[in-house]
Amino acid sequence: MSFLQHDVPLSWYLLLSAVLFSLGVIGFLIKRNLITVFMSIELMLNAVNLSFVAFAYQWHEVRGQIFVFFVMMVAAAEAAVGLAIIIAVFRARATLAVDRIDLMKL
Amino acid sequence: MSENPAAPALELPAAERTGENVMVLNMGPQHPATHGVLRLVVELDGEVIVSVRPEVGYLHTGIEKTCEAKFYQQVVPLTDRINYLDPLSNNLCYCLAVEKLLGLEIPERAQWIRVLLTELSRLNSHLIWLGTHAMDIGALTVFLYTFREREEILRLFEAVAGQRMMTSYFRIGGLSMEPPLDWLDRVQAFITTFPEKIDEYSNLLTGNPIFMNRLKGVGYLSASDAIAFGVTGPPLRASGVDIDLRRDMPYSGYEKFQFKVPTSTVGDTWARYEVRLVEMRESTKIVQQALDGMPGGPVKADAPKIVLPDREKMKTEMEALIHHFKIVTEGFSVPAGEVYQGIECGHGQMGYYVVSDGTSKPYRVHMRYPSFATLQAVETMCKGRLIADLVAVIGSIDIVLGEIDR
Amino acid sequence: MTILEFFLWSLLKVAVVTVVMLLGIAYTVLLERKLVGRIQNRWGPSRVGPFGLLQPLVDGAKSFLKEDLIPTAVYRPIYLLAPILSLGCALISIAVVPFGANMGPHGFDLFEISNINIGLLVILGVTSMGVYGIALAGWSSNNKYSLLGSLRSSAQLISYELALGLSLVGVVLRAGSLNLRVIVEQQATLGIATWNIFGGFQFLAFFIYLMAAFAETNRSPFDLPEAESELTGGYHTEYSSMKFAMFFMAEYGNMINVGCVATLLFLGGWTSPLGNLMPPLQSTLVNALLPIFWFVLKVFLFLCLYVWVRGTLPRFRYDQLMNFGWRFLLPLAIVNIVGTSLWLAYR
Amino acid sequence: MTSQTPTISGKQAVLDALPDHPAIQALLTWNPEAFIDAKFDFGELTLTIAPTEIRAACSAVQAAGYNFFEDMTAVDWFPASPRFQLSYHILSHAFKERIRLRVLLDESEPIVDSITPVWSGANFFEREVFDLFGIHFAGHPGLRRIMLPDDWQGHPLRKDYPVEGYR
Amino acid sequence: MNPTPYDWQYLPLLLQILAAFLLGMAMVTASWFVGRHRNTQVKLDAYECGIQAVGDARGRFSVRFYLVAVLFILFDVEMVFMMPWAVIYRRLPQITGSRLFGFWEMLVYLGFVAVGLYYIVRKGILNWSRDKADL
Amino acid sequence: MHLILFFLFAGFCLAGAINLLLQTHPINSALSLIVVMTSLAVLYLLLGAEFLAIAQIIVYAGAVMVLFTFVVMLLNAGREERTLGSRAASRVGFPAVVALFAVLSTILLRAQGLGSAHLGQGLTNAPGQSNLVLLSQVLFHELLLPFEVTSVLILIAILGAVALAHAEGSKTGGSERMAEK
């Protein structure tokens, strides 16, 4: 039953966070749909949040968690506005493909 | 046979016409709120109605054509099937039209019983309207309460005609037979308690803020629009046009009865609801008056060549037997001519246009039914409103597909 | 107690509670049919078994035996996922609901699956996940009625979730904890006089909660998503057999959940109306079972309220519903929070 | 016991019997030429109008107070000529009275002006007559079959329509 | 004996979640295998009141639904913020020394949110029946 | 126990993230992201942040992703064409990502002083005590200003989202262009 008592090195959490972040970046680069690109950004945010929580655990510091809380809140606001922009873009271009949205002008 | 060159293809939905973002939704024929097999092609912008196009004909049975192959008397059972919620009004209207052609005088007792039964039939129709309308709005319970009273009315019909819905009780020249002995007492018992029942429905609905909010200001129809579309009956009166054929062009002895014709000037679904509720109370009064002043005498006109003899007579008198035989096998011939008889049924003005060529079968029978015309006003009432209002409007104009498709 | 024992005990609790919950769902359906039947001058189910008691079981069997249609136009994976999500979310909330005093040996909670400090938030979280079942069901069905129904329904659910959540803040303010056990025990001191609904001056919150809960569970008068007179079946138009039954079960499961939460937060949970004033009884068994009786009774009465309302009221129109939620309930909930906090500060 | 109301037929006879009738007055002032015939029978007034003028005639009686279009239909007098008769029933809310406008149509040219510009409620009625009799209405906003499927053959209410359908 | 560690309490919750979803999956699978399959094309068509469906149902929809969702997440965040505040509220006077500290801080917070709500209502976002939905 | 749970949910997390990239239909991607977020919530729980875990579920999985789902439904976003991105992205982006990841992992794996996570250990080192109270104390006392500022942020987000999505002015132009397509 020794595996039940095993601890997890904190670096593993951080590694997971790094992997998720990299996946987010890759998604940001390869996805062609504006919505999915946005989702990749959310993935990156989440990855960073994980490392915050991990560090908060390491240093017994509740502010790390509070920071994650604020990040969540900002992410919510960002999603609201970001998706509104996507809708506005879609309205103007009738497409969500990133390649076709290459003009700044709506 | 001639093709119809003028018939265009189905109209394109507005979405394809204008390129706007419109969703085309089929409501019906298999839809719980369309009271039968009405099909509405609704164009929606979000939940807002852009246009409503009624498509009818799913219940078309060719009754008008069938009538041409029947003896005059045999048409009566067909009429029951048209507005199956108000069967006796159909019977009455047809009988009155043919009697007009024949120039028959109907005994007073028969007239009074006809009025009584027609008013019960109107109550029946209004009860179903109230129940289904409330159910469309989401009030389930009222539906079952109204059906409880409707059941009583149907029992009364059954007692008098042997049939609950397809009564065929009126005959050309009177009634098919004298009602059973205690029947009038049963009607009295029913009609005494009925106003309380109306109060009961009213308690559940009239003061209910949700119900009020669903109906008030919805499905507005102006008086001029109502007249232009040929809307009749409660919807017309709710729009402020004070016309009721029972009072204004009386038939079957309605001039002897005292009743009020409720009107409203608002013209929305709530006004229609209120008008019908008052109409139910007024019908109750008419039934009461008919019971109170019920005259005696025969229930059939004295026209042996047209009216079937009583069973007793037919079995004892040679002449009656011969008449019976001739009426049943050959029918009776009706003088040539054309008549239009309009009456006020539960839904509005019903009219029978009977053309005779002098033989024993009608040359042409055409029925004017209120729902057919009223349906045309749906789009005007619903445009720019929400889809939920469409349901309220359909409920409030009280359509019966049997009478639209015939 | 080792973790293995704990695990096995938990498994047992989960199994028992889930079975009880499923039975509860089945018999809530029966309760509704019987009660609405009585309201409407009918009998309700009365043929299968005594008083129709076996009806739910037969219905369940029937749902399984019905033809399982997957229309060709649907987006299959999500179409199949949606009912699982719906029913799943309906069955989770019960895990944090305590339905009896803590009686277990070794501090083990016999009458609650998991006693956690953020129980209330877990319920809110699970509710917020329930939206997916409905939204995805309608979207994947590729049917206009379904889509309309699901969009309506999801918008309704999320709108009323706010009012629901904010109405609970008053209770949390009073209790100072998100642990449901703490919230209940805090109400137990003087019985009915200290229940949150009366003693805690949370009547307004209870009213908001009640409205929001009716809307959250898609019940009359907020049953627009399945307003059969407008949208035929709403979001589950394209679902048949057990998949349909799962949405149905989810609805009733949510009714029970909402009833449980109302009981815990406003009606004193498992405590009797006399609360701690009632002298403890001698028998351990009675002491263990009496709280369950009170709890079940309160939930039962709450469910009866549901049915009664359904038998009485018509349904809102969509815009009225949204207005009611946003313009009336939400500000009211904020007012309640401000009022409660002010009152607590000066008490 | 039967009683017949007196029948007055012929335009002149009706004019003599009912000189002040508002509908007759309106039609006379409108266009006496197009007002072909009249009949008073069973207490109902029937006014025959020339086929080309029905829309204008409707406007005329509408202006005279016959404000409510109640019904319209057709009768097929098959071997006879003119074959089709269109009957418009128009009600006056003010006079509490109904008149019938009648139009006779030849088989060779079963087309008549639509009265939907006067009463939009005539829409369905005209579609029904078109559907069942094959009479066309010029100027109708959407003349297509209403009762029968769009691909139906023939017009069932015509007297020469085989009752068992086309084989 | 010692009470069980607090974090163990999450284990049964996890089990319950697992059980709920397994049950759901089992039901879907079982009904697929138990139920009969006599499909015909007509049965498998999308339901549209007996008429062949016109167009794709997944048409674009009123943007109003999106706006409701936006408002929801913003207010949801607010609600989540409020929960810890409510938990600590009765202890805040001890911490801060001010009786109304917690009250005022939330009142300011709510004030901003209320301004947002007022703006939404004034802007007519929630008027479903008034104007035609855009997009 | 911690190990098992970590591997299980880290696995879910990674699987979800990879699935997010592989799926072509946005709704599938959104569902994968929901899986990632719920798994992350469990990981937060393992790290003793129970309030954050449930906030993650309520805010991220229950609200933000609902918004995403709504937008996917609203715009009826179909499958995307599978391209490999712009050339600049693949030439510069991928090496950069790989480099970034390599650097990060090297640092993280070699870093000294990082402890290991033990189940049930909260921030206070006192097992059983919720960190909710601690968190609230800091949040509503010491971090008062950031907290109030978030409400301003919410307000601005409301204004922005409404202005962007509800723009009536762009309506005609948009639908015309849509009609052209």
- Percentage of chain D beyond pLDDT 70 is 95
Count, in order, helices (H) and strands (E) of chain A.
Answer: 4, 1
pLDDT at A3: 53
Q: Is B356:B362 a contact under the CB 8 Å cutoff? A: yes
What's the residue count for chain F? 181
Q: Distance from CA of residue C15 to its chain's centroid?
A: 19
Residues in chain F closer than 8 A to A97 (CB atoms): 80-81
The mean predicted confidence, pLDDT, of chain B is 84
Which residues in F63-82 are b (16+ Cβ under 10 Å) and which e?
A: bbbbbbbbbbbbbebeebee
Judged against a pLDDT cut of 60, whether residue C275 lies above it is answered with yes
Whether the predicted pLDDT of B108 surpasses 80: yes
Residue D42: phi and psi, rounded to 5, are 55, 30
Average pLDDT, chain F: 75
pLDDT value, residue F178 = 36
- Whether residue C301 is predicted with pLDDT greater than 50 in this model: the reply is yes
User: Of B60-74, C138-152, C226-240, which has the strongest mean pLDDT?
Assistant: B60-74
Q: Which two tokens stand for residue C346?
A: 């000066």
Report, as an integer, the average pLDDT of E75-92: 84
Length of chain E (residues):
135
Q: Is the peptide bond before D82 cis (omega within 30 degrees of 0)?
A: yes
Asked if C36 lies within 8 A of B140 by C-beta distance, the reply is yes
Q: Give the domain CATH number at D39.
A: 3.30.460.80
Q: Which of F34, F50, F61 has the CB atom closest to C118's CB atom?
A: F50
Q: Mean pLDDT across the stretch D45-62?
A: 85
Q: For the beta carbon of residue B209, count every other beta carbon within 10 angstroms.
A: 10
pLDDT at residue B316 above 50? yes
* Separation between Cα atoms, residue B101 and residue B346, nearest integer Å: 25
Per the model's pLDDT, the better-predicted residue between F45 and F167 turns out to be F45
Res B25 pLDDT > 80: no
- Which among B150, B146, B165 is positioned nearest to B83, based on CA atoms? B165
- The answer to whether position D37 is within a domain reads yes
Nearest-Cα residue of chain F relative to residue E72:
F63
Residue contacts between E and F (CB atoms, under 8 Å): 134
Q: What is the pLDDT of residue B18?
A: 41
Distance CA F117, CA A12 (A): 10
Q: Which of residues 6-65 of C touch B (CB under 8 A)?
A: 36, 39-42
What's the pLDDT score for residue C84? 92
Residue C346's pLDDT is what? Answer: 79
Residue ranges of domains in chain C: 66-346
* E67 vs B316, higher pLDDT: B316
The confidence score (pLDDT) of residue F169 equals 40
If one counts every other C-beta atom within 10 angstroms of the C-beta of residue F92, the result is 12
Chain A partners of F18 at a C-beta cutoff of 8 Å? Answer: 23
Estimate the crossing angle of helix C241-265 against helix C76-92, to 10 degrees: 30
The reported pTM is 0.85
| pLDDT value at C79 more than 80 | yes
The helix/strand/coil state of B149 is helix
Lowest mean pLDDT among B271-275, C267-271, F114-118: F114-118
Percent of chain C with pLDDT over 70: 93
What gap in Å lies between CA F42 and CA B51, rounded to an integer? 51
For the cut 60, the answer to whether the pLDDT of residue F82 exceeds it is no
Could you tell me which of B273, B263, B261, B262 has the C-alpha nearest to residue B217?
Answer: B273
Q: Does F159 touch chain E (CB under 8 A)?
A: yes
Residues 6+ apart with CB under 8 A from F50: C116, C117, C118, F44, F130, F131, F132
CATH architecture for segment(s) F1-77: Up-down Bundle (1.20)
Sheet strands side by side (includes D8-9):
D8-9, D35-41, D44-49, D97-105, D84-92, D68-76
> Is the predicted pLDDT of residue B361 greater than 70, yes or no?
yes
Q: Which of B10, B11, B16, B21 is best to mutate for the E interface (most E CBs within 10 A)?
A: B21
Q: Which residues in chain B touch residue E132, judged by CB atoms under 8 angstroms apart?
A: 45-46, 48, 384
State whether E81 and A73 contact (CB < 8 Å): yes
**Coil/strand/helix, residue C177:** coil
Structure tokens at B31: 């839809």
Tokens read off for B234: 């409660």
Integer CA distances (angstroms), E15 to C107, F31, F64, F118, in order: 20, 22, 26, 21
- Phi-psi sector, F111: left (phi>0), alpha (psi -120 to 50), beta: beta
What pLDDT does D2 receive?
Answer: 44
List the one residue out of F39, F56, F47 whose CA is nearest residue F121.
Answer: F47
Sequence letter at residue C116? I
Give the tens place of pLDDT for each residue, D15-40. 777 777 887 888 788 877 777 888 88
- The pLDDT score that the predictor gives to residue E49 is 64
Q: Looking at the predicted structure, is the pLDDT value of residue D4 above 60?
A: no
Cis peptide before B29 (omega within 30 of 0): yes
Is residue D1 over pLDDT 50? no
pLDDT in tens, B206-227: 888 888 888 888 888 888 888 8
Give the Cα separation of F103 and F96 in Å (integer).
Answer: 10
CB atoms within 10 A of CB B261: 16
SS3 B51: strand
Is the pLDDT at E1 greater than 50, yes or no? Answer: no
User: Which 3 state secondary structure label does DSSP give C323?
Assistant: helix
The confidence score (pLDDT) of residue F96 equals 78
Q: What's the token pair of residue B368? A: 């004017």
Q: How far is CA C218 from the centre of its chain?
A: 11
| Residue B86, both tokens | 């108000």
Give the residue from chain F lying closest to E62, CA to CA. F74
Under the banding of pLDDT at 50, 70 and 90, the label for residue C171 is: confident
Question: CA quadruple F72, F73, F74, F76: dihedral positive or negative?
Answer: positive
D92 φ, ψ (degrees, to nearest 5): -110, 120
Closest alpha carbon within chain C to F57? C125
Residues 82-141 of F with CB under 8 A from B: none
Q: Where are the domains of chain F?
A: 1-77, 143-181
State the DSSP string of C222-261: S-GGG-HHHHTTGGGTT--HHHHHHHHHHHHHHHHHHHHH
How many structural domains is chain D composed of?
1
In three-state secondary structure terms, D100 is strand
Distances C192 to B14, C186, C225, C266, E11 between C-alpha atoms, Å:
61, 12, 36, 10, 34
Whole-angstrom Cα Rg for chain F = 22
**How many degrees, rounded to 5, is the angle at CA E60 between CA E55 and CA E62?**
130
Q: Which residues contact F20 (CB under 8 A, 6 or more apart)?
A: A23, A27, A36, A39, A40, A43, F29, F32, F33, F36
For C284, other C-beta atoms within 10 Å of its C-beta total: 9
Q: Look up the domain containing D56 and give its range.
A: 8-119
Tokens 């809380």, residue located: A69
Q: Which residues of A touch F60 (CB under 8 A)?
A: 42, 46, 72, 75
Chains contacting C (3 or more CB pairs within 8 Å): B, E, F
Which helix (H) or strand (E) segment is B42 a member of?
Answer: strand B39-45
> Using one digit for the tens of pLDDT, what is the confidence trace for E13-67?
888 888 889 998 888 888 888 877 777 777 777 666 666 655 555 555 667 777 8
Chain C residues 151-180 with CB within 8 Å of chain B:
152
CB contacts of B7 in chain D (<8 Å) are 143-145, 150
Block residue for tokens 């016999």: C110
Is B19's pLDDT higher than 70? no
| Alpha-carbon distance C311 to nearest alpha carbon in chain F (angstroms) | 32
* List of chain A residues with pLDDT < 50: 1
Q: Which two tokens stand for residue A89?
A: 């873009």
Q: Which of residues 16-45 of F touch C (CB under 8 A)?
A: 27-28, 31, 34
∠ CA(D92), CA(D94), CA(D99), 5° rounding?
Answer: 25
* Contact by Cβ (8 Å): E86, C179: no
Comparing B252-256, D52-56, F134-138, the range with the smallest average pLDDT is F134-138
* C316–B213 C-beta distance less than 8 A: yes
Check pLDDT > 80 for residue F131: no
pLDDT at D81: 81
CB of B251 closer than 8 Å to CB of B100: no
Tokens of C321: 């519903």
Alpha carbon of A28: minimum distance to chain E alpha carbons (Å): 23
Q: How many Å separate Cα C170 from the centre of its chain? A: 19
Inter-axis angle of helices A62-93 and E63-88, nearest 10: 170
Quick: pLDDT tens for B115-170: 999 999 999 999 998 888 888 887 888 888 898 889 999 999 999 888 888 888 88
| Inter-residue contact C157 to E65 (CB < 8 Å) | no
Convert the pLDDT of each residue in D77-121 to its tens digit. Answer: 888 888 888 899 988 888 888 888 888 888 888 888 888 888 888
Say whether pLDDT at F128 is over 70. Answer: no
Whether F168 and E112 lie within 8 Å, measured CB to CB: no
Q: What pLDDT, on a 0 to 100 scale, did the predictor assign at position B202?
A: 87
Residues 7-66 of E with CB under 8 A from C: 8-13, 15-17, 19-21, 23-25, 27-28, 30-32, 34-39, 41, 43-49, 53, 56-59, 61, 65
Indicate contact of B with E: 3+ CB pairs under 8 A. Answer: yes
Asked if D91's CB is within 8 angstroms of B339's CB, the reply is no
* F53: phi then psi, degrees, rounded to nearest 5: -60, -45
Helix (H, G, I), strand (E, B) or coil at D18: coil
CA distance B67 to B74: 8
Which helix (H) or strand (E) segment holds residue D126: the answer is: helix D122-133
Taking CB atoms and an 8 Å cutoff, what residues of chain B touch D7? 337
Q: For residue B106, what is the DSSP state?
A: P
For residue C343, pLDDT over 50 is answered with yes
Residue F36's pLDDT is 92
pLDDT value at residue B136: 82
User: Is residue B58 predicted with pLDDT exceeding 80?
Assistant: yes
Question: Of the candidates C147, C124, C142, C150, which has an alpha carbon nearest to the alpha carbon of residue C247?
Answer: C150
Q: How far apart are CA A42 and CA C297, in angstroms?
A: 46
Residues E85-100: what's their mean pLDDT?
Answer: 79
What's residue C104's pLDDT?
A: 59
Give the rounded distance of the alpha carbon of C331 from its chain centre. 24
Q: Please, are residues B186 and B159 in contact by the beta-carbon 8 Å criterion?
A: yes
Distance from CA of E128 to the nearest CA of F (A): 13
Reported ipTM: the value is: 0.81
Q: C225-239, E117-131, F114-128: lowest mean pLDDT where?
A: F114-128
